[in-house]
Amino acid sequence: MKNLFLLVALLAAVPALAQTTKKTTAKKATVVKKAPAKATTAKKTTTTAPKSTTVATPAPAPAAPLTQAEAASGLREALTTGVTKAVAFASEPDGFNLNDDIRIQFPPDAQLVATTLGALPLGKQAVEQATNLLNRAAEAAAPQAKDIFLNAVQQLTLTDALSLVTSSQKDAATQLLRKNSEAALNAALRPSIVQSLDQVGANAAYSKLIERYNKIPLMTPASTNLTDYVTKETVDGLFILLAQQEAKIRQNPAAQSTAILKRVFGGK
């Protein structure tokens, strides 16, 4: 009987034991979520080179070769400009008198007159006064020379204009004008010189000195005629000034005042 009660107790305890065992042996399922991997990709640094804004400039087209007609036109223009400026300079007060390049002295055959009388009392002052008046006569006649010179420029034949333009002589055109026109220029200017010598009193002052000189014993008499000499010296002076102007046009871009002068002499 005792054993029977023990068996019943054991049978009653079995379900509870089984349920407890089941609870203690069952493992709690744990789901471990893996953290999402952080993006480790570094930001891509993009360096964009600035676009070049420089636009290639096309090379200028080569200038067309200078023609004979252009060269002749340019030379005439240079001479015309030179004559205008040369006459303007020569016509100014003391344009001849204070310019050592063109100042007119006593004629060669009267140099002894200046030397001899210049050594006498008051003689030097009289010689200087007469010399000044010779230059005043040239200055007075210079304006009349402008049209004479310009006419000679227009009549100038420039068959070799291209070689003149490229000449190493900076007064090549002036030399050609002088060669072809000097005699005619002297003849055309002579009447103006005659008039100006009388107007400024050069003839009277010079004649007085010559008469005084010719009275000195044993001296070879000197001529009192100034016209041909002063005419030649005036024309010479204008050619010298013209040559200077031509050289300036050839060498100085600032003096190339017109389109044709720039075209002909701009690349020199």
pLDDT at 72: 93
Distance CA 32, CA 79 (A): 108
Write down the mean pLDDT value for the chain.
83
Over 60: is that where the pLDDT of 7 sits?
A: no
pLDDT tens, residue by residue, 12-58 = 444 443 444 444 343 444 444 444 444 444 444 445 555 556 666 66
Over 50: is that where the pLDDT of 1 sits?
A: no
How large is the average pLDDT for residues 176-180?
Answer: 94
Distance CA 27, CA 35 (A): 24
How large is the average pLDDT for residues 230-248?
Answer: 97
pLDDT at 139: 97
pLDDT at 121: 80
Q: Please, which residues have CB within 8 angstroms of residue 126's CB and are 6 or more apart in sequence? A: 117, 205, 208, 209
16 or 150, higher pLDDT: 150
- Work out the percent of the chain whose per-residue pLDDT is above 70: 76
Residues 159-196 as b or e (16 or more Cβ within 10 Å = b): eebbebbeeeebbbbbebbbeebeeebbebbbebbbeb
Residue whose pair of structure tokens reads 């744990």 in the numeric block: 30
Distance CA 141, CA 128 (A): 20
Q: Please, which residues have CB within 8 angstroms of residue 70's CB and are 6 or more apart in sequence? A: 260, 263, 264
7 or 139, higher pLDDT: 139
pTM: 0.75
Over 70: is that where the pLDDT of 129 sits?
A: yes
Q: Are 165 and 264 in contact (CB under 8 A)?
A: yes
Q: Please, which residues have CB within 8 angstroms of residue 71's CB and are 6 or more apart in sequence? A: 158, 161, 162, 164, 165, 264
Q: For the ranges 52-56, 105-109, 131-135, 207-211, which has the lowest average pLDDT?
A: 52-56
Distance CA 134, CA 104 (A): 7
pLDDT tens, residue by residue, 66-122 = 899 999 999 999 999 999 999 999 999 999 999 999 999 999 888 999 998 888 888
Distance CA 224, CA 220 (A): 13
